[in-house]
């Protein structure tokens, strides 16, 4: 029997309905959530990601600003832009789209963002709060994964979770989030990476398998336990359709694994829509915190 398909696009839409309602209530109290997205250069993928974020912000009723800067902007000038938004009371969330040009230090830029406006959850202050289970802002993709599991009724408490990938953006934070005490967590978590000798040995034990490798078809059917829940974070481009549209696949051999898994996320339409949605949720939370509500 084929796996249940966990459709992030549908769950994301449910959350956005709630966020739109919450935004309207905040507006009645004189608070309009404000989000600025800063794009340096004209990387096509980055332009597409930022456009999606701005479109969603507009749909929810945010005060949204798109700040486009040339690829030649100096690090000093970009830092000054961030400081301006740190001081702007209309802006509650600041997002700098990565990657940045080589002459700009991503670390310096991300560290300059006010932690109270760090809706990506990348500032060391917010990473530290995440580690001790007191996060104000959860990183968006891991938060989306957690919501997919919760809203799909997947048991997490006591589950064996295996995360393949140890990035600062996905692997490390989702592992930390799922091992915390409390609802939507309390799992036993194993993290696999390029230094793991036998990844399949670990993945075959997983009740919940989270693939965040960045390599097409890295997780094959023989690596998955019968009935496991498989969350595929990967978005890999594999050529183009005759119409010129990019063909996407995940880190999991989807067609084979879905015949064995209990539930699985597709690519596209799985984790991706949740990432933007959780960014919006963090922005609403930042606005509420700034207003003391």
Which DSSP string do the residues of 96-131 spell out, in sequence order?
EPSPPPTTS-HHHHHHHS-GGG-TT--SHHHHHHHH
pLDDT of the residue at 219: 97
Structure-token match 């000798």, residue found: 197
- What's the pTM value of the predicted model, to 2 decimals? 0.94
172 annotated active-site: no
Determine which one of 54, 67, 97, 232 is catalytic.
97
53 annotated active-site: yes
120 annotated active-site: yes
> Of 242, 201, 243, which is closest to residue 225 (Cα–Cα)?
201
pLDDT of the residue at 243: 78
pLDDT confidence tier of residue 284, bands split at 50, 70 and 90: very high
* % residues pLDDT > 90 (the chain): 91
pLDDT of the residue at 67: 97
Determine which one of 118, 120, 207, 253 is catalytic.
120
What's the CA gap between 121 and 126, in Å, rounded?
6
Beta-sheet strands, E only, within the chain: 4-5, 34-40, 63-69, 93-96, 160-164, 188-192, 208-211, 229-232, 236-240, 246-249, 263-264
pLDDT confidence tier of residue 1, bands split at 50, 70 and 90: confident
> Of 173, 179, 131, which is closest to residue 156 (Cα–Cα)?
179
261-266 average pLDDT score: 98
pLDDT of the residue at 241: 73
DSSP-based three-state secondary structure for 163: strand
pLDDT of the residue at 97: 95
170-176 average pLDDT score: 98
**Which residues pair with residue 63 across a beta bridge?**
34
**CATH architecture label of 31-118:** 3-Layer(aba) Sandwich (3.40)
pLDDT of the residue at 255: 95
200 pLDDT higher than 90: yes
| Domain 140-272: top CATH class | alpha beta
pLDDT confidence tier of residue 239, bands split at 50, 70 and 90: confident
Determine which one of 53, 117, 225, 260 is catalytic.
53
Element (H, E) at 55: helix 44-60
User: Alpha helices, DSSP H only, in 71-206?
Assistant: 75-87, 106-112, 124-131, 140-151, 171-179, 199-203
pLDDT confidence tier of residue 44, bands split at 50, 70 and 90: confident
Delimit the CATH 3.40.50.720 region(s) of the chain.
140-272
pLDDT of the residue at 14: 97
DSSP-based three-state secondary structure for 20: helix
Per the CB < 8 A criterion, the answer to whether 106 and 77 are in contact is no
pLDDT confidence tier of residue 247, bands split at 50, 70 and 90: confident
């Amino acid at each position: 029997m084929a796996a249940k398909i966990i459709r992030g696009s549908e769950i994301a839409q449910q959350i956005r309905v709630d966020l739109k309602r919450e935004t309207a209530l905040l507006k009645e109290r004189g608070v309009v959530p404000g989000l600025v997205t800063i794009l340096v250069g004209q990387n096509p993928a980055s332009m597409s990601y930022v456009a999606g974020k701005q479109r969603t912000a507009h749909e929810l009723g945010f005060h949204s600003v798109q700040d486009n800067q040339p690829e030649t902007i100096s690090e000093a000038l970009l830092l000054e832009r961030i400081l301006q938004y740190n001081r702007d009371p209309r802006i509650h969330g600041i997002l700098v789209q990565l990657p940045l040009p080589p002459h700009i230090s991503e670390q310096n830029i991300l560290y300059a963002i006010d932690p109270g406006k760090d809706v990506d959850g990348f500032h060391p202050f917010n990473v530290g709060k995440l580690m001790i289970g007191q996060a104000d802002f959860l990183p968006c993709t891991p938060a989306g994964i957690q919501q997919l599991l919760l809203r799909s009724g997947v048991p997490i408490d006591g589950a064996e979770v295996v995360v393949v990938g140890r990035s600062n953006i996905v692997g490390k934070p989702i592992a930390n989030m799922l091992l915390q005490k409390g609802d939507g967590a309390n799992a036993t978590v194993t993290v696999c990476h390029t230094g793991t000798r036998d990844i399949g040995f670990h993945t075959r034990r997983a009740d919940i398998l989270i693939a965040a490798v960045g390599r097409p078809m890295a997780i094959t059917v023989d690596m998955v336990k019968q009935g496991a829940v498989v969350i595929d974070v990967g978005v890999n481009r594999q050529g183009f359709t005759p119409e010129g549209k990019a063909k996407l696949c995940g880190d999991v051999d989807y067609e084979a694994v879905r015949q064995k898994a209990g539930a699985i996320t597709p690519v596209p339409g799985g984790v991706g829509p949740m990432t933007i949605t959780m960014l919006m949720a963090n922005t609403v939370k930042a606005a509420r915190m700034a207003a003391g509500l």
